């Protein structure tokens, strides 16, 4: 059974329809990459799943339970965690306090302060440092760690490699590989298709607010995904939301 099911989700910014009837599902331990050009609606979709942006219509189900109008903090408590674009850490608070803040979600499980630090070893020497003093890659690790502290059923990651050096991106994805091995489901928004093919089980391509194609990573080619990216192949497969 799917951990997360998104059924017919639509979301707007004022009069602009940013997400137009998206269907998606993510199985236990599955990594789904969400790709598409700037403005395709990826961030709005993740924020809508997380309950930060209100859906105009459609449903989000977690383990078969419809989340309805549950606000963002309730969704975190239910098991939906978002690592937002830009990280949004408490810059003057220590790394340890940034992680501990997430225990207020009240979910217990495999991830504790100790196991998060073990999975993200680059944080160990920095626990007492203000989060704002860390490098971009280290800050991204804190953001991932903070999300893990809520013991999510599904982790939503929005452009985690944005603005990081290639070495830092390697570090972030190495951390995510550890998380994936622990069975946490993920939706990853990523612009770098090489990374997408390296880290995901399934790919969904968004164009102008819709999922225009999706499939197992092993069944798709980079050229195919690039074609969907710019809409060249959209006409042939429109409506294929899975």
The footprint of ligand ATP (CB under 6 A) covers: 13, 16, 18, 36, 38-44
Q: Torsions phi, psi of 161, nearest 5?
A: -100, 0
228 phi and psi angles, rounded to 5 deg: -65, -35
Closest CB to ligand ATP among 53 and 202?
53
By beta-carbon proximity to ligand ATP, the closer residue of 29 and 58 is: 58
State in angstroms the smallest separation of the CB of 226 from ligand ATP: 16
Distance in Å, CB of 147 to ligand ATP, minimum:
18
Q: How far is the CB of 18 from ligand ATP (least distance, A)?
A: 4
Give the three-class secondary structure for 23: strand
CB count within 10 Å of CB 125 equals: 10
At 164 the three-state DSSP class reads coil
Least distance in angstroms from the C-beta of 179 to ligand ATP: 22
Expressed in percent and rounded to 5, the helix, strand and coil fractions of the chain are 40, 25, 35
Give the helix/strand (H/E) hosting 93: none
Q: Measured from the CB atom, is 26 or 40 closer to ligand ATP? A: 40
CB 54, min distance to ligand ATP, A: 13
Between residues 45 and 102, which has the closer beta carbon with respect to ligand ATP?
45
Other CB atoms within 10 A of residue 106 CB: 9
Of the candidates 8, 80, 20, 46, the one whose C-alpha atom is nearest the C-alpha of residue 158 is 46
Question: Smaller CB distance to ligand ATP: residue 31 or 47?
Answer: 47
Q: Cβ of residue 237: shortest distance to ligand ATP, in angstroms? A: 19
| Rounded CA separation 195/169 (Å) | 9
Give 38 or 108: the residue with its C-beta nearer to ligand ATP: 38
Place of tokens 């998380």: 179
């Amino acid at each position: 059974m799917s951990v997360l099911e998104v059924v017919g989700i639509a979301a707007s910014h004022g009069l602009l329809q940013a997400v137009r009837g998206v269907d998606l599902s993510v199985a236990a331990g599955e990594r789904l990459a969400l790709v598409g050009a700037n403005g395709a609606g990826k961030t709005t979709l993740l924020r809508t799943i997380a309950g930060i942006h209100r859906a105009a219509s459609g449903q989000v189900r977690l383990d078969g339970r419809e989340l309805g109008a549950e606000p963002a903090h309730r969704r975190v408590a239910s098991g939906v965690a978002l690592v937002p674009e830009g990280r949004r850490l408490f810059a003057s608070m220590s790394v340890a306090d940034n992680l501990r803040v997430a225990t207020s979600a009240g979910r217990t499980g495999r991830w504790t302060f100790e196991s998060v630090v073990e999975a993200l070893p680059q944080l160990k020497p920095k626990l007492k440092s203000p989060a704002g003093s860390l490098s971009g890659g280290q800050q991204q690790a804190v953001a991932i760690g903070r999300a893990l502290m809520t013991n999510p059923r599904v982790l939503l990651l929005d452009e985690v490699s944005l603005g990081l050096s290639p070495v830092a991106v390697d570090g972030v994805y190495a951390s995510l590989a550890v998380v994936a091995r622990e069975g946490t489901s993920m939706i990853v928004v990523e612009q770098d298709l090489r990374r997408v093919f390296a880290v995901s089980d399934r790919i969904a391509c968004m164009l102008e607010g819709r999922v225009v194609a999706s499939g197992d990573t092993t069944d798709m080619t980079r050229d195919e995904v690039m074609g969907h990216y710019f809409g060249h192949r959209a006409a042939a497969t429109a409506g294929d939301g899975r």
